[in-house]
Chain A
Amino acid sequence: MPAMADETLFQLLHTQVVAAAYGAGRGSGDEGLRAGLTVLEGMGFRVGQGLAERLPQGALAFREELDTIKFLCRDLWGAVFGKQTDNLRTNHQGTYILQDNNFPFLTQMAWGQQYLEEAPKFLAFTCGLLRGTLSSLGIESSVTASVTSLPA
């Protein structure tokens, strides 16, 4: 029973974290936006490093890169968001696309283009999370996110 509230709590906390990263007199405009994104991404990175140790407990060793990515899609997404990613695509040359049609941080936003520019703020932490987890598991990466429409 208590587990059901976990995701909501995390989403609420995340919303506040984003607000805090941009509140308190951080410069406005482009500079401020980038600074906030960096802070959020850095936070996600450190959390990802811890998660990479904690989550695979008892799992067998990852034999190849694809195993690690699959672990991300299933176990990490499951632990953090309570669901798995909807689609995984790769070009077999090191690029992977994880698709989530109902991204929990964005489902609460108003429908339409109005807040599309604000969406990156809510994705920065998750990008950092993925980058941190991958880095801890031995894969140096760069993670970007894009939103096609809200609510995602």
Chain B
Amino acid sequence: MRKKNKNKNNKNLNASWLKPYSLLQNYPLYIRSIPAEQELKFHYTVHTSLDVVDEKVSAMGKALVDQRELYLGLLYPTEDYKVYGYVTNSKVKFVMVVDSSNTALRDNEIRSMFRKLHNSYTDVMCNPFYNPGDRIHSRAFDNMVTSMMVQVC
């Protein structure tokens, strides 16, 4: 089974980070952060949060409760930031890392951001010039992400 991860946007007052992950090795399809210098730290965070995503996905499979949402919610909070996750039916994972001090972000805002991300990713997928599994270079995608990050920071 191929696992795709897309990490997206970490919104931080200090930094935002976006990172899509993809395929068996769970490599990123798209990474974005504001500001751009702290990327490495976020790489690590997001990679470890993948384990939490996997946990939640397999728990969903066994749960008797009919809770099969795509939005995974808060994956785990650390002292500096919170991590949110979302997985699509095609096993593409979106991860968002947000600064903890940014308390203005409500749950339904995060959900709507993930929905926008999912819609834009679907558009990228339907682009005949895009090969599934490649890194994403779409300008429309970039613009959508930028507008989201600007809205938050």
Contact = CB atoms under 8 A, between A and B. Distances in A.
**Is chain B a partner of chain A in the same complex?**
yes
B132 interface: yes
Q: With a 10 A CB-CB cut-off, give which of A64, A135, A138 has the most chain B CB atoms.
A: A138
B69 interface: yes
B126 A50 contact: yes
Interface string B55-90: 001001100000011100000000000000001111
Q: How many B residues are at the interface, by size bracket? A: 20 to 34
Nearest to B87: A61
Given A49-B132, A60-B69, A137 B125 contact: no
Contacts of B1: 138-140
Q: Which 8 A-B pairs have the closest CB atoms?
A: A60-B68, A50-B126, A53-B125, A61-B68, A53-B122, A136-B90, A138-B1, A56-B89
Interface of B: 1-2, 57, 60-61, 68-70, 87-91, 118-119, 121-122, 125-126, 128, 132
Q: How many A residues are at the interface, by size bracket? A: 20 to 34
Interface of A: 46, 49-50, 52-54, 56-57, 59-64, 135-140
A50 B125 contact: yes
Given A53-B122, A63-B68, 5 more contacts: A53-B88, A53-B126, A57-B118, A62-B89, A138-B2
